[in-house]
Amino acid sequence: MAKPIRAVMFDLDGTLLDTAPDFIVVVNQLLAEQNQPTLSAETIRAGVSNGSKALIKLAFGIEESNEQFEPLRQRLLELYLAHIAVYTKPFPGISALLDKLADNNIVWGIATNKPATYTLPLMAALNIHPAPLSVICPDHVSRSKPDPESLFLAGKQLNCSPEEIIYIGDHKRDIDCGKGAGSITIAATYGYVDENEDPASWNADYYVNHADEIWPIVEKYL
C-alpha cells in the first residue's frame, strides 16, 4: 500500500500554467525583428516545454554552435521577461484543484527547469492562491530534471518523503524525475506534448487529458 499523499508537485510550463500564448507572441516578435517569417501558434506551442534553446532552434533552424544562436536566445529571453504574464494563466481546472488540495491539507509546489529569473516574477505576477510552499528551479539544484534532485529537495522543504508526493508533468523528463524519486507520477497530456512524442512510452502511473481528472487520482491516496 502506498503512503498517503502529503504534497502535489507540478511542472510549470504546460502543466500548471499555459505559458504558450506569451511565448507565441515573443518568438514571432523576434522573428519579425530578424525579418524572418513567423511561425504558427501550434508550432511554437509544442516547443515551449523544451526551453529557450529549443525555441531558437525551432524558430531559426540553427544549432548552438552558430555565432548568432546565443545573441538570439538572449534577445528572446529579454522579450519574454517583458511579456511574461500578459496572456499566461493556469490551465482550466487547476484553480479548483488547488482549492481541493487546500481543503484536504495537501500542500503543493512547483519543480521546473525554468530558471528562477523567469519563474519567480511569473508566479508573483499571477499571485495564485493558495500559494505554493515549494518552488524548485534549476538554480536551486545541482542537477535539473530528469534527475530527481528537485523532488528530493521539495520533500525536505515540505517535510515529507518523495514517496508522499504526486508529481505531474507534460514531458518524459518530468515522469523520469518523479519515478527516480519514488513519487507517484501523472502525465499531463493536455500540455505541450510534441506530435512525435508517445506519452504511453513514458510509463507514468497515471495519464490525464484535463486537469479536472487529477483530483480523483489524488483522492485514492488520501
Tens of pLDDT, residues 122-178: 999 999 999 999 999 999 999 999 999 999 999 999 999 999 999 999 999 999 999
What does the radius of gyration of the chain's CA atoms come to, in whole angstroms? 17
pLDDT band at 195 (very low <50, low <70, confident <90, very high): confident
The residues carrying an active-site annotation are: 11, 13
- Mean pLDDT, residues 18-36 taken together: 98
DSSP sequence for 14-55: TTTEE-HHHHHHHHHHHHHHTT-----HHHHHHHGGGHHHHH
**Fold designation for 7-18+88-219:** Rossmann fold (3.40.50)
**Is the model's pLDDT at 31 over the cut of 60?**
yes
